[in-house]
Structure 1
Amino acid sequence: MLLGVIADDFTGAGDIANTLAKGLPPQGGLAVTQYLGVPTRPAAPEVEAGVISLKTRSIPAADAVAQSLAALAWLREQGCRQIVFKYCSTFDSTPEGNIGPVGEALADAFGASGVIACPAFPTVGRSVHQGHLFVHDRLLSESGMQNHPLTPMTDPDIRRWLRRQTRDAVGLVASPTVRAGAAAVRQALAACAARGETLVICDAATDADLVTLGEAAAEALLVTGGSGIAIGLPANFITRGQAKGVATAFAGVDGPEAILAGSCSGATRGQIAIHAAAHPAMALDVDAVMAGKIGVGDLAEFIAAHRGQAPLIYSSDDPAEVAALQKRYGREAVAGRLEALFADTARALIAGGVRRLVVAGGETSGAVAQALGLEALEIGPEIDPGVPILAAPDGRVALALKSGNFGAPDFFAKALAALAGK
């Protein structure tokens, strides 16, 4: 294994696995396997990049650090020459963590400083300028992320946000330096390291900027960022003759289907509205869920009754209603109950013969993936930017795990067709 990734959630893991598998034309990407949690056995010899999916974005920082270091230990045992710590392109975290604590812990393990930190993903509208994160033409704090139920992002200055989480000062490599090329970036990172800045926010507004950062990181032991930071990394190994470059392939999985949506993002709410207008859809009554009046059997019965019709079950709602529910029951209680319900339902659906499963929402996807007990997934073609097909090695089930803000308006129908190889 050449490259190892530690991802702080399951949808993000699929996102960066997709980026590494695609690579850049004409070289192609790496042979990638996504692992659901830290594996208990060595990687297959043909794996060039291993992506470990953790669920550490919203847990206590100390636990996130411990799990990330365990993932690092396994990846180093596989011979990885470079590690990427992957977090969300909207920098989802609280002032207490977890990006800063995990990033510094990984840097400490390597004795590294001047480490790139770049969440930019221009393909889906995430860019960084002078250390400020934009979502399309809006500052992060005005993009809707300020209403996130678990990690509200109220400050677009991610250098300042990250500094609230870190032990050391946080550096900045601004866009003029990035546009000056990889050598200029390496020099700037070295200067940051000399000043004692462990993590360094790097501006990027285009894929070309990310390729430059990838070239600058060719010899780096550790890189951190969103999936975009990986765009240029496969080429480093291919150019050196350490990897051959591959293209993803997927034959398709046919059979019963289901969609589970647990995200409250604007993008997912729009996708739900479009899909529900033409397909069976069940909106969860959260009060009934919290009272124990709705359970797995009810959800599984709805899916079975509408087999072949792309049925959807969702708990998404507008920010005001979400806030009211959190006030009534507690934020963690609502999130935990819904995640458990979706996870248990997914397990029941797969046991009952569902073979194509689409899940929306990072936390929901993580809960579902863990519940299914799949140790590793093969990476198939991209459905929409940042969302690949994920297939069980035995071919019995294919998944699309979508971050809340990702996907075209018709994503759900498109994903089910893609999972069938259409």
Structure 2
Amino acid sequence: MSELLIGFLGDDFTGSTDAMESLAVCGLRTVLFTSPPTAGQLARYERLRAFGVASTARSMSPPDMERTLRPAFAALRDLGAPIVHYKVCSTFDSSPRVGSIGRAIDVGMEVFGCRFVPVIVGAPDLGRHCVFGNLFAVVGGGEEPVRLDRHPSMSRHPVTPMDEADLRLHLSRQTDKSIALFDVRQLELPADEMQRRFDALVASGAQVILIDLLHENQLATVGSLIARHASPDRPLFVVGSSGVEAALCAHWGDTTATFTPPGPVEPIVVVSGSRSPVTAGQVQWALDHGFEQAPIDFTPIDCAMMRLKWGRSVIIDSGPFDPAVASEMGPLLGCILQNLLECTRVQRVVVAGGDTSGHVARALGIESMEMIAPLTRGAPLCRVSAPGSPADGIEMVFKGGQIGGPDFFCLVERGS
């Protein structure tokens, strides 16, 4: 009998490692793959409780998403997990033209044959709070959440700017499915009454049910709402952030895992295609504290190798955003990193940027990875498996643009 509790498919790489971390820190062995695994591949891992697949759906057009997601969802459906989660960014960035979450819901409902799809976007431990259907996010290391359509980064995202904080309105541009809200007040009701109201919402014919999530003491409640609708014979299809995993773990009551501190490694390599101001600040901090830059437009491999031989950690940054070459930047960074790994003994690497991470992983031939230590929430240290590649066995961090404090790259170098 399968011991699997959940399988997930992430719409980008950094979001996928975030979901893996949410499960692993609760003591659930989780392996993240770069393509849907077979039952035989899963059987290689003892005591496996969860698995994920990292995709690049967030950067795709809706037709490309459908061609990618339909067979992927079918593969995950047939692997025996009672819950299958389409993991999206906790800032819900998407549009009718790129990374359409609505199209993913449409495809998922067809593949899983489900009556309704729960959507959970709040992730309190990441500073993401969904209240009365509106999403708020903490900026960088700040404390006060900002409504998403006023967020200094997400409201100006170069590809999917978030101009609407009400997720019902935002999602209605991407799907014609009916959307209902289970709001924060109902989460505070006695358990029986809360379940009765949720079941009534399902019975009313609502096809998409957005569930508020404001603070961490609501996680177990939200987890219980969705878990009771799941079974291995008829998997529940869920959409949302890593708040889904956090809620389910709170409901399951799993214990906190203990990880061996990884310790310092010098030098490390950082490749960044992220255009986030948060990442820009991290790059500058690292340069001010001993890292050196290898300009991408001036023999970056030679420059990086020279600095690495001197024992200096290196940053290779894509530079200012240029729409004309944006689609080429991720594969280029992946090629540069592969060449560096072939010629050096670098054992720890950071990749910044969700789309960039997917391109780099493909260039390196990464097959799977497991978390080996937490660093900062949402960007764990992982050990990668890449048979026949110079990346096989090295430590890597895949970091989203909004994740981490100013000293994040120095933190990765120190290992704590």
Q: Normalization by structure 2: what TM-score?
A: 0.86
Computed over aligned residues only, the root mean square deviation of the Cα atoms, in angstroms, reads 2.3
1:182–1:216 contact (8 Å) kept in structure 2? no
Q: What residue in structure 2 maps to residue 350 of structure 1?
A: 341
Q: Which runs of 5+ in 2 are unaligned?
A: 139-144, 230-235, 387-391
Aligned-partner residue type, residue 157 of structure 1: D
2: distance between equivalents of 1:187 and 1:110?
24
Q: Deviations over 1:63-120 (max 9, x none)?
A: 2233223222332332111111100000010134521111232123222233221211
Task: Describe how 1:278-317 pairs up with structure 2 within 5 A.
Answer: 278-282=289-293, 284=295, 294=298, 298-307=299-308, 308-317=311-320
Give the length in aligned residue pairs: 387
Task: Describe how 1:226-241 pairs up with structure 2 within 5 A.
Answer: 226-234=241-249, 236=251
Task: Describe how 1:198-237 pairs up with structure 2 within 5 A.
Answer: 198-220=207-229, 221-234=236-249, 236=251
2: distance between equivalents of 1:263 and 1:393?
24
1:42–1:78 contact (8 Å) kept in structure 2? no
Q: CA deviation at 1:386?
A: 1.0
1: distance between equivalents of 2:274 and 2:131?
28
Q: What residue in structure 1 maps to residue 34 of structure 2?
A: 36
Q: CA deviation at 1:335?
A: 1.4
Aligned-partner residue type, residue 215 of structure 1: S
Q: What residue in structure 2 maps to residue 146 of structure 1?
A: 155
Q: What residue in structure 2 maps to residue 68 of structure 1?
A: 69
2: distance between equivalents of 1:115 and 1:343?
36
Q: CA deviation at 1:417?
A: 2.2
Change (3 A) 1:186 1:163: farther
Q: Which of 399, 412, 415 is matched with 1:415 structurally?
A: 412
Q: Which runs of 5+ in 1 are unaligned?
A: 24-28, 240-244
Q: CA deviation at 1:132?
A: 0.8
2:271–2:317 contact (8 Å) kept in structure 1? yes
Change (3 A) 1:148 1:181: farther
Q: Which of 9, 13, 16 is matched with 1:13 structurally?
A: 16
Q: CA deviation at 1:359?
A: 1.0
Equivalent residue of 1:175, what SS? coil
1:189–1:200 contact (8 Å) kept in structure 2? no
2: distance between equivalents of 1:315 and 1:182?
51
Task: Describe how 1:322-361 pairs up with structure 2 within 5 A.
Answer: 322=321, 325-326=322-323, 329=324, 334-352=325-343, 353-361=345-353
Aligned-partner residue type, residue 405 of structure 2: A
Q: What residue in structure 2 maps to residue 82 of structure 1?
A: 83
Q: CA deviation at 1:168?
A: 1.1
Equivalent residue of 1:166, what SS? coil
Change (3 A) 1:127 1:173: same
1:265 is the counterpart of 2:276: yes
Q: What residue in structure 2 maps to residue 132 of structure 1?
A: 134
Q: CA deviation at 1:206?
A: 0.8
Aligned-partner residue type, residue 35 of structure 1: F
Equivalent residue of 1:231, what SS? helix
Q: Deviations over 1:249-300 (max 9, x none)?
A: 3574856520111111121111111111123433756xxx5xxxx5xxx222
1:391 is the counterpart of 2:383: yes
Q: Which of 366, 369, 377 is matched with 2:358 structurally?
A: 366
1:104–1:198 contact (8 Å) kept in structure 2? no
1:249 is the counterpart of 2:255: no
2:291–2:315 contact (8 Å) kept in structure 1? yes
Aligned-partner residue type, residue 28 of structure 2: L
Aligned-partner residue type, residue 410 of structure 2: A
Q: Which of 169, 182, 187 is matched with 2:178 structurally?
A: 169
2: distance between equivalents of 1:77 and 1:86?
18
Q: Deviations over 1:11-69 (max 9, x none)?
A: 0000010001112xxxxx31100111223553135221001101100201122233223
Change (3 A) 1:70 1:250: farther
Equivalent residue of 1:260, what SS? strand
Q: What residue in structure 2 maps to residue 242 of structure 1?
A: none
1: distance between equivalents of 2:319 and 2:188?
41
Equivalent residue of 2:73, what SS? helix
Q: Normalization by structure 1: what TM-score?
A: 0.85
Equivalent residue of 2:130, what SS? strand
1:248–1:379 contact (8 Å) kept in structure 2? no
2:266–2:312 contact (8 Å) kept in structure 1? no
